[in-house]
Chains A and B, each alone.
Chain A
Amino acid sequence: MKAAGTALTLRVLLLAQMRQQPARLLIMLAVIAIGVSLGTAVFIVNATALNEFTQATKRLVGEADVIIRGPPRGFSESLYPKLSANSAVAIASPVLEIQAAVPGRQSPLKIIGLDVFRAAQLQPALLGDLTGDIRRMFSPRGVFLSARAAQELSRKPGDTLTVIVGSDPVALEVLGILSIARYSQAVGLMDIASAQWTFRQLGQLNRIDLRLQAGVDAHGFSAQLARDLPQGVLAIAPEVERDRAVTITRAYRVNLNMLALVSLFTSAFLVFSIQSLSMLRRRASIALLRALGVTRLQLQRGLLAEAVVIGSLGSAVGVLMGIALATAVVHLLSGDFGNGQLQVSAGGGPLLDPWSLFAAFLVGTVVACVGAWFPAREAAARNPARGLKAGDSEIIIPPRRLLLPGAALIALGICLVILPPQRGLPIAGYAAIAALLFGTILWVPRYTEAVLSLWPRTNRVALDIALAQLNGSRGTMFLSLAPIIVSFSLMVSMSIMVHSFRDSFDAWLGKLLPADLQMRLPPGNDTASWSDDEQRSIAALQDIERTDFRRTLPLYLRADREPATLIARDMRAQPTQDILPMVASDANVDPQRAVWISEAAQDKFEFRLGQPLTLPIAGATHRFVVAGIWRDYARANGALVIPRQRYIDLSGDKSANEGAIWIRPGADAARVQQAIRTRFSTANALEMMRSSEVRERSLAVFDRAFAVTYALEALAVLIGLAGISVAASFTAIARRAEFGMLRHIGLTRGQVMQMLATEGIATAVLGTLYGLALGLVLSLVLIFVINRQSFNWSIDLSIPALQLVAFAAALIAAAAATAILSGRAALTEDALRSVREDW
């Protein structure tokens, strides 16, 4: 009986809605669908990219129980027979893993040199395609490419692939292509002997995969083994290797997910305000239903059921749109949302997990229900007799009752801000944003009350009526303000964050690119370098005033961390602040022992200023002291700078892979570049650019990386604007009687319009100011908590005042325009008829 009553109520409510307010229904559906589709798309793309990455690393790790890793230059191969003979080891597989520089390719190609007889037992899934070709693999200059690598390099079997070793091009023969099912990322496979010879690493390995005898405890074994391994060689658990993709991109993915959540969040607010306004509009029908015997519970249920229907419909559409969007992103952009870290091969298509899709659908529906819950409760609680009478068009929101919960939420937000990151993620920071947002929203009614009471009387009819109207409908005003404040404040905070980041990034680039020209070999490559003689010959070129060559290489510090980057460069310039973007330094440290660490190195390896530490360099450990902490936006896993002379003394390695060139004043940069290029073979992987070009490109990359952020922001604001326009049209329609009366008592059409515009502008100004202030607070959380914790680098606050003013002006204009348009629609009707309508 109860259920039947609810169903009937629902039918009456919904049918009436569809007939009377199809636009409102459509907007609600659209809002939910957009929020859900964004979340779904971000989730699908992330999951797809991650799955592919994880599958690929799984293939590389195979069935190894322990992975021994050393620096790229490796360790003596004599470790291999030693480990093979270890009674706890069932299989030892020697590997030389090389990031090979390939001319014309920005990122190096990973080439894995392996003993196929050994690797086949540990990575059978990776090597399956080689059956029948094993002996061909022995060809010393032969390489097998994964399908992805072959595609990226456009090579087919029999083609030549040139790699740079030192400064020399070495031609490899493409022996075959592994099928995409074997390995989805780009990789080349070579015989271990060929790799050692080709890459001039005879006698060296840099990885040994171990499978242990049944019953041997891998952790205990690793711990014991770690003591016998050469310096800088680590025993790594396979989970660490497998989770690499997850770890590297986690912060980025979490941020994207959070942005998607923000859009859902805004949707919930909008549903709340639309539903609340719609209750006003339907007050008479609702009261009639109650008068006809529908119970309060049935009514509440009916209204909620309505939200479920709309929410699930919108969510279903949203999930479908999300799948379409994700498919487009995967196919058109290789699943890259702009940071270049996650890429998928288009061949795979998006990964659709029915449970996750269902979860997205459910979240959307729940969001709609939550948004509809409060208005439904309020409507059901109303006295039907009052509702049946005309003029009861205001929601009573007692501002003071909201203050305490608001203050509590704000206090909670402040507490959350000071919490440390959880598992490297700024979870508390995000929670703080949510708490601050909700808390401050609850203060909006009190705020409007206070501001409006300060508003002076002008004795101009239109303005004073507008003011009186606003004062009298603070509840409605709150409803139209809440979504715009939420979306605008989020937008403001993101703009401030991105702007601050960009400014800091730009300043950082300036510090890092002091010279006229920058030359480098593909970052992260292990094979290409310039010899001492080559560096000297460049320095001796005419028109070159000064050169600063650097050596960068991966540094394995901890078995459970990604390798950091060691940068050996000239650090004699004083003060060091001039050549490194320092955030802290200790002048008392002996420059001979100094190491300057990046903020990421500080966070990830828990190093402190002034702390003595030992670093493994060229197979031995050496003592250093942290002399400074600098800001680095380039190396997320941490970077450590040491004086180049000390590095050469310790390692004997005089080669370099990055260089800064100062040109004599008045000399032609293009001629100097040409002169440098002619020093090297045409196929060399040398990249050379003017510092100004590097800067432009880096900023372009930066902007691209944040393009998605901007898109999501814009969407949030659009949703907010939709809120304003819905509210405006509602109130306009609801107030037809009032307009009729005003016209009746002699106000001109223009005065009514002026009144409406004033109301619209006043509302928008109030919302914008509040949103600006709130956005500023939120941006501080984003910059100093969330950004610092997710990316391990600091940013200096910088406010894009002009941009914000422009945003605010646009928003106010849009709100005013919406108010006037809605008013005009309401005013076209005959004044007398509208006065009569309610009687």
Chain B
Amino acid sequence: MLKVVLRLSACLCAILAIDAALATVAPADASAAAVVRGYPLNFPRDYGAHNEFRTEWWYITGWLHTRNGAKLGFQVTFFRSRTSPDLIAGNPSAFAPTQILIAHCALSDPTHGRLRQAQRIARAGLGVAYASEADTQVSIDRWQLQRTSERYIARVQGENFSLQLTMLPTQPPLLNGDRGFSQKSPLPRSASYYYSVPHLQVAGTVEREGAPELVTGEAWLDHEWSSEYLDADASGWDWIGMNFDDGSALMAFRIRAKDGAQHWAAATLRDGQGNTRVLNAEEIRFTPLRHWRSQRTGISYPVEWRVRAGPVEFELQPLLEDQENDTRATTGAIYWEGAVTATRAGHSIGRGYLELTGYGEALKLR
């Protein structure tokens, strides 16, 4: 969901640091399409890219199990960011950077003790990087996320790890908010189109330090596009996407104000039978239980939570504490995103991903 697109780090090099400018500091682009209530999402068209909107992402998070029972968390994301046509000024060059594509991958590996990360950035064009408007087909060089014959296939290569995963949907897309219109603040113009695909059945290969292993698991896909995201009062957010063992699924987020109080919240809950409930702010409560302080950055993150979302209540425990994305050296952004287990009365009831942003400094997202 709300992703740290705009402040991704670049392990490769300082400049890849995607330049907070990418979508954020750039002047408001009046020509970008607005997100409006009531637009009916239409598949497969809306699996594809929406180039007229400023930002968009396909965000996959999930749990993997190796053959010998080891557990891993993974995250594969492709972002698209539109450049203001004013800046392009009608340049007919095939290199004109009308759309910038960014990909990010992180592997939560308890044996490694922290995240393995890799990223890519490129301007769309000349077939080197592209995001199809017809279906989920996003690619930067050899990094790819493709939806073909109902399956998602993700391929990414980092410096000392790579993922090649096939993900089979077992449930229809879950439309968040009002039939896919997801409001992010009390101001209705801060909103996105947003659907999730929970309970993706995963099979594939994870390679670490040159050693490939077969893996299976369960994942979650978010696809979200928007032209105006956070409002000026927001300082960060907490987000979860949970696949419960009984087949139910929950997406919940809350946006924090500068004073730390809940500024906005929303959730979508679908039970095992396919009945969907959209929850409003009053029905959602995020309660931090335990903090973990990063030795590297000194930032304290609430890594254990009690979450109540309408009828369900559970606790969250991280797969490993250190799932911090520290990109301070390059962009200054530091956030935590990692694999978590949901428990009720000490028993595991599901797994998912937790994202915590804005704990170091306020995110400059609008």
Which residues of A are interface residues toward B (Cβ below 8 A)?
77-78, 80-81, 84, 92, 94, 115-118, 120-121, 124, 127-128, 130-136, 138-140, 191-194, 196-197, 202-203
Contact of A135 among B16, B19, B93, B96 (CB under 8 A): B19
C-alpha gap A202/B92 in the complex (Å) = 8
C-alpha gap A94/B125 in the complex (Å) = 12
As a 0/1 sequence over residues 84 to 104 of chain B, the CB contacts with chain A under 8 angstroms (1 = contact) are 000111011111110010000
A775 CB to closest chain B CB (Å) equals 59
10 A-B pairs within 8 Å (CB atoms) are namely: A77-B94, A116-B15, A121-B13, A128-B14, A134-B22, A135-B25, A135-B83, A138-B83, A139-B87, A203-B94
Contact across chains for B19 and A134 when beta carbons are under 8 A apart: yes
Contact across chains for A131 and B19 when beta carbons are under 8 A apart: yes
Residues on B with beta carbons closer than 8 Å to the beta carbon of A139: 87, 89
A138-B97 in contact given A120-B16, A121-B16 (Cβ < 8 Å): yes
Q: Which 6 A-B pairs have the closest CB atoms?
A: A120-B15, A193-B95, A193-B93, A134-B19, A135-B21, A196-B93
Contact across chains for B19 and A133 when beta carbons are under 8 A apart: yes
Q: How many residues of B contact A (CB 8 A)?
A: 34
As a 0/1 sequence over residues 15 to 33 of chain B, the CB contacts with chain A under 8 angstroms (1 = contact) are 1111111100110000000
A128-B15 in contact given A77-B94, A94-B95, A135-B83 (Cβ < 8 Å): yes
Contact of A197 among B21, B22, B93, B100 (CB under 8 A): B93
C-alpha gap A94/B95 in the complex (Å) = 10
A135 CB to closest chain B CB (Å) equals 4
Residue of B10, B17, B95, B100 with most chain A CB atoms under a 10 A cut-off? B95
Residues on B with beta carbons closer than 8 Å to the beta carbon of A127: 15
Compute the total of residue contacts between A and B using a CB distance below 8 Å. 94
C-alpha gap A750/B91 in the complex (Å) = 93
Residues on B with beta carbons closer than 8 Å to the beta carbon of A117: 16, 100, 121-123
Does B187 lie at the interface of the complex (its beta carbon under 8 Å from any beta carbon of A)? Answer: no
C-alpha gap A590/B15 in the complex (Å) = 56
Within 8 A of A (CB), among B61-94: 83, 87-89, 91-94
A664 CB to closest chain B CB (Å) equals 46
C-alpha gap A132/B26 in the complex (Å) = 11
Residues on A with beta carbons closer than 8 Å to the beta carbon of B88: 138, 140
Does B127 lie at the interface of the complex (its beta carbon under 8 Å from any beta carbon of A)? Answer: yes
Across the interface, name the chain A residue whose C-beta is closest to B96: A193
Contact across chains for B16 and A81 when beta carbons are under 8 A apart: no
Residue of A80, A117, A133, A140 with most chain B CB atoms under a 10 A cut-off? A117
Contact across chains for B121 and A131 when beta carbons are under 8 A apart: no
Across the interface, name the chain B residue whose C-beta is closest to A113: B95
Residues on A with beta carbons closer than 8 Å to the beta carbon of B20: 132
B321 CB to closest chain A CB (Å) equals 31
Across the interface, name the chain A residue whose C-beta is closest to B22: A135
As a 0/1 sequence over residues 254 to 296 of chain B, the CB contacts with chain A under 8 angstroms (1 = contact) are 0000000000000000000000000000000000000000000
Does B126 lie at the interface of the complex (its beta carbon under 8 Å from any beta carbon of A)? Answer: yes
Contacts A133-B19, A135-B21 given; 19 further ones with Cβ under 8 A? A77-B94, A77-B126, A81-B128, A115-B123, A117-B122, A128-B14, A131-B14, A131-B17, A131-B19, A131-B330, A132-B19, A134-B21, A135-B22, A136-B21, A138-B83, A139-B87, A192-B93, A193-B94, A197-B92
C-alpha gap A130/B96 in the complex (Å) = 18
C-alpha gap A128/B12 in the complex (Å) = 13
Contact across chains for B95 and A196 when beta carbons are under 8 A apart: yes
C-alpha gap A132/B19 in the complex (Å) = 5
Across the interface, name the chain A residue whose C-beta is closest to B20: A132
Residues on A with beta carbons closer than 8 Å to the beta carbon of B21: 132-136
C-alpha gap A312/B289 in the complex (Å) = 78
Does B141 lie at the interface of the complex (its beta carbon under 8 Å from any beta carbon of A)? Answer: yes
Q: Is the interface of B mostly helix, strand, loop or mixed?
A: loop
Across the interface, name the chain B residue whose C-beta is closest to A63: B13
Contact across chains for A81 and B83 when beta carbons are under 8 A apart: no
Residues on B with beta carbons closer than 8 Å to the beta carbon of A84: 128, 141
Contact across chains for B127 and A120 when beta carbons are under 8 A apart: no
Q: Is the interface of A mostly helix, strand, loop or mixed?
A: helix
Residues on A with beta carbons closer than 8 Å to the beta carbon of B141: 84
Contact across chains for A192 and B14 when beta carbons are under 8 A apart: no
Across the interface, name the chain A residue whose C-beta is closest to B159: A214
Residues on A with beta carbons closer than 8 Å to the beta carbon of B17: 131
A159 CB to closest chain B CB (Å) equals 19
Residues on B with beta carbons closer than 8 Å to the beta carbon of A120: 10, 12-16
A324 CB to closest chain B CB (Å) equals 40
A336 CB to closest chain B CB (Å) equals 34
Across the interface, name the chain A residue whose C-beta is closest to B10: A120
B333 CB to closest chain A CB (Å) equals 13
Contact across chains for A138 and B87 when beta carbons are under 8 A apart: yes
B16 CB to closest chain A CB (Å) equals 6
C-alpha gap A124/B10 in the complex (Å) = 12
Contact of A192 among B10, B19, B89, B95 (CB under 8 A): B95
A84 CB to closest chain B CB (Å) equals 5
B59 CB to closest chain A CB (Å) equals 21
Contact across chains for B95 and A121 when beta carbons are under 8 A apart: no
A194-B91 in contact given A84-B141, A135-B22 (Cβ < 8 Å): yes
Contact across chains for A80 and B87 when beta carbons are under 8 A apart: no
Contact across chains for B128 and A80 when beta carbons are under 8 A apart: yes
B6 CB to closest chain A CB (Å) equals 11
Across the interface, name the chain A residue whose C-beta is closest to B26: A135
A94 CB to closest chain B CB (Å) equals 7
C-alpha gap A117/B91 in the complex (Å) = 18
C-alpha gap A140/B96 in the complex (Å) = 9
Residues on B with beta carbons closer than 8 Å to the beta carbon of A81: 126-128
C-alpha gap A136/B19 in the complex (Å) = 10
C-alpha gap A192/B16 in the complex (Å) = 17
Across the interface, name the chain A residue whose C-beta is closest to B100: A117
Contact across chains for B91 and A80 when beta carbons are under 8 A apart: no
Across the interface, name the chain A residue whose C-beta is closest to B95: A193
A213 CB to closest chain B CB (Å) equals 10
A140-B14 in contact given A117-B123, A118-B122, A133-B21 (Cβ < 8 Å): no
A813 CB to closest chain B CB (Å) equals 69
Residues on B with beta carbons closer than 8 Å to the beta carbon of A138: 83, 87-88, 97
C-alpha gap A457/B11 in the complex (Å) = 94
Across the interface, name the chain A residue whose C-beta is closest to B87: A138
Contact across chains for B15 and A124 when beta carbons are under 8 A apart: yes
Across the interface, name the chain B residue whose C-beta is closest to A142: B87
Residues on A with beta carbons closer than 8 Å to the beta carbon of B95: 77, 94, 115, 191-193, 196
Across the interface, name the chain A residue whose C-beta is closest to B102: A117
C-alpha gap A440/B14 in the complex (Å) = 65
Residues on A with beta carbons closer than 8 Å to the beta carbon of B127: 81
A573 CB to closest chain B CB (Å) equals 43
Across the interface, name the chain B residue whose C-beta is closest to A130: B15
B236 CB to closest chain A CB (Å) equals 21
Residues on A with beta carbons closer than 8 Å to the beta carbon of B128: 80-81, 84, 92
Across the interface, name the chain B residue whose C-beta is closest to A191: B97
A80-B126 in contact given A121-B12, A135-B19, A197-B93 (Cβ < 8 Å): yes
A193-B16 in contact given A81-B128, A135-B21 (Cβ < 8 Å): no
A127 CB to closest chain B CB (Å) equals 6
Contact across chains for A197 and B15 when beta carbons are under 8 A apart: no
C-alpha gap A16/B128 in the complex (Å) = 84
Residue of B13, B18, B88, B127 with most chain A CB atoms under a 10 A cut-off? B13
As a 0/1 sequence over residues 136 to 176 of chain B, the CB contacts with chain A under 8 angstroms (1 = contact) are 00000100000000000000000000000000000000000
Across the interface, name the chain B residue whose C-beta is closest to A84: B128
C-alpha gap A127/B12 in the complex (Å) = 14
C-alpha gap A116/B100 in the complex (Å) = 12
Residues on B with beta carbons closer than 8 Å to the beta carbon of A135: 19, 21-22, 25-26, 83, 87
A117 CB to closest chain B CB (Å) equals 5
Residues on B with beta carbons closer than 8 Å to the beta carbon of A132: 19-21
Residues on B with beta carbons closer than 8 Å to the beta carbon of A133: 19, 21
Residue of A92, A94, A140 with most chain B CB atoms under a 10 A cut-off? A140
Contact across chains for A197 and B19 when beta carbons are under 8 A apart: no
C-alpha gap A78/B95 in the complex (Å) = 11
Across the interface, name the chain B residue whose C-beta is closest to A116: B15
A193-B91 in contact given A115-B123, A131-B19, A135-B83 (Cβ < 8 Å): yes
